[in-house]
Structure 1
Amino acid sequence: MTRDIKKLAKEIRKEEASLPLHHEANFERLLLAELHLKKTKRISVKWISIAASVAILISVCSLFFLKNEEEKIPENIPVKEMTLGTISPEFNTIETYYVNSINLEISEIEIDNSNKELIDGYLLKIAELMNEYTLLTKELNTKGVNNATIDAL
């Protein structure tokens, strides 16, 4: 059972492996067929142009819709108006003092036939002053804060 390694090597050399006929040609043919079988897939220019067109269409449509939404201003949001009280706390205290004084004096007056005409005249004058006050407040809101409007108020 024991064999000498030198003898084994000599026997192997004698039995040199021989390849079948046309082995090399068959190998080259199969190798070329295998290499050229797998083609890389190319995305066609047609599909790229379609995708680009769709992307441009979506972006243009979204711009128009977003622009229209920005232009729409809700009408039911109240706009905070500027008054003397919002300009300065001192003006606010003066304004409330005079309004409360006028309301207190009006509530203390007893109306009878003798002073009815006088009271109606004063109430008309107060109504005119209130109209003028609202006009000046609107002017304050539109033109902004200026000394002439504040002095008039």
Structure 2
Amino acid sequence: MSKDLREVLKKKPIGSEKLSKNHRRNFEAKLKNEMHTSRNKNYQFLKTAASFLILIGLGTSMFYILNSTKDIPVETARIKSLGSISPEFRNIENYYLASIQAEISDLNKTSENKELLDSYLEKISELSLDYKQLTNKLSAEGLNEKNINALIENLQLRLKLMYQLKEQLNDLKNLNNSENENISI
């Protein structure tokens, strides 16, 4: 039963009907009223959804805040060494300590190099004591970059001293060998 709009308009003369004087105002009022009610319906749903999301967000935040404060111990854990902070620091500490131990075990103590060995080993033991003091300081003050860097630099310095000692021992050995060759000639 649909009618073709073109057919209806052809049969009906245009301009034969007159609109009332208030037609434009009535039309605009109906249009505003329709737009206002549809807007309110859409925005009302959005307002409700936003309020619901805000309540969920606040509830979740409060839950995490309250639960995270329960896990914080009153006393901070005692830091025994650099390696007790994290696995990465444990690897760094183990590398340096193993390298230092390997260099110490390779040393050959003789009467000619005894004095040199003792002086270097004394410096290394002093640095070991400094390392313990730095660890205590780190434990007392808490984790901070300055103290961690100082611990790593201490380990690096001890290994550097071992390399210097090894180099000086080689120089001393070469000097002794060349003196022995001169004496025998």
Q: TM-score, normalised by structure 2?
A: 0.38
Q: Which of structures 1 and 2 has the larger relative contact order (alpha carbons within 8 angstroms, sep 6+)? A: 2
> Going by fraction, where is helix more abundant, 1 or 2?
2
